A and B are shown apart, each in its own frame.
Chain A
Amino acid sequence: MYFDSLGELLSMQGHGFYVWTAYSLGFSVLLWNFLSPVLHGRRQRAHIKRRLRRESAREHRL
């Protein structure tokens, strides 16, 4: 590792704020890109399943 201590790694010779902010935002964007389709897909599937159940119940009544 290039840095000798955790303090050096965090401060990055005065550039720590810029570097760590950029990396945090980077990870947030990656996480959003992963979670967004997973959660959205789940909601959609649940919605479709509910709709299919309603339709089949209506068919049974008829």
Chain B
Amino acid sequence: MKWTFFHRLSSPKWFYEISGRCLVWTGAAALACTLCGLLWGLLFAPPDYQQGNSYRIIFIHVPAASLALVVYLALAVMSAINFVWKIKLADMAAACLAPIGASFCSLALVTGAIWGKPTWGAWWVWDARLTSMLILLFLYCGLMALRSAFTSQDMASRACAILAMVGLVNIPVIKFSVEWWSTLHQGASLRIVGQSSMDPSMLKPLLVSLAGFYMFCLFVFLLRLRAEVVWREWRTSWVRALLERSAPHVL
């Protein structure tokens, strides 16, 4: 097997060129799927027989919560790659993933609280799922604060990598909290393996919304990473040449 592909993948210049080609398609797919999924869920899906219309929050809450976990996993993988092989693009990726993950984690917590009020009668309960998600938000905030606390880029990336890998322990706790403990939060209604407990009329818009959020996350991640590459590599000849010929509005 040829490993040249992996070596090229770690080159900021190569990444910048490739990501530029798929940026428009990712953005268009994200916009189409997100709008379609959210409008379908909001306007056309039937109400739930127990929760009424408040369940429509699921079309935002579940994709946001799912992304909060997946983004953290990706962040930890990138941190581990940087920690072991010292690949600077992996460190840039980890730095860019933290604010995205934090925003989706906050959205999942706030929409969960809003959904909790009409369903449980409380905005917040110290339930295992909610508490572990709050810990995840603290981890994201901690990672961002830690990175900005160092003046040395190398020290910051090593410290953040260690914290990200330690924080990985929280991911299975979040995932299985509803099974390990008696929680107010419901179990998974969407399963990758096996039958989902949702009716297809609700499941289909949720899947479209999930696809849209994932595409959107990829799109904004590429945007952030491209900006980070330009910022950290601005002394290189290819970035100087790029800046000389690019218009100020180019992403």
A-side residues, CB < 8 A to B, are 1-3, 9, 12-16, 18-19, 21-23, 25-26, 29-30, 32-34, 36-38, 40-42, 44-46, 48-49, 52
Contact = CB atoms under 8 A, between A and B. Distances in A.
Interface in B23-39: 34, 38
Contact of A49 (B52, B104, B223, B243): B243
Given A23-B57, A42-B248, 9 more contacts: A12-B54, A16-B53, A18-B117, A19-B53, A21-B114, A23-B42, A32-B103, A33-B216, A48-B231
Interface stretch (B9-17, B43-51, B75-83, B173-181): B43-51
B57 A34 contact: no
B28 to A, nearest CB: 13
Given A22-B60, A37-B223, A30 B118 contact: no
B234 A2 contact: no
Interface stretch (B84-92, B105-113, B130-138, B148-156): B105-113
Contact of B226 (A21, A32, A41): A41
A36 B99 contact: yes
Residue from B42, B47, B115 having most chain A Cβ neighbours under 10 A: B42
A14 B43 CA distance: 16
Nearest to B242: A45
Contacts of A26: 38, 60, 64, 107, 111
B120 to A, nearest CB: 12
Contacts of B219: 34
Q: Interface range on chain B: under 10, 10 to 19, 20 to 34, or 35 or more?
A: 35 or more
Contacts of B100: 33
Contact of B118 (A3, A9, A18): A18
A52 B243 contact: yes
B230 interface: yes
11 contacts: A2-B45, A2-B46, A12-B56, A13-B53, A18-B118, A26-B38, A26-B111, A29-B106, A30-B216, A37-B226, A48-B230
A19 to B, nearest CB: 5
Given A25-B107, A46-B248, A41 B227 contact: yes
B193 interface: no
Contact of B43 (A9, A25, A37): A9
A16 to B, nearest CB: 8
A31 to B, nearest CB: 11
Nearest to A43: B227
Nearest to B58: A22
B204 interface: no
Given A25-B111, A37-B220, A13 B57 contact: no
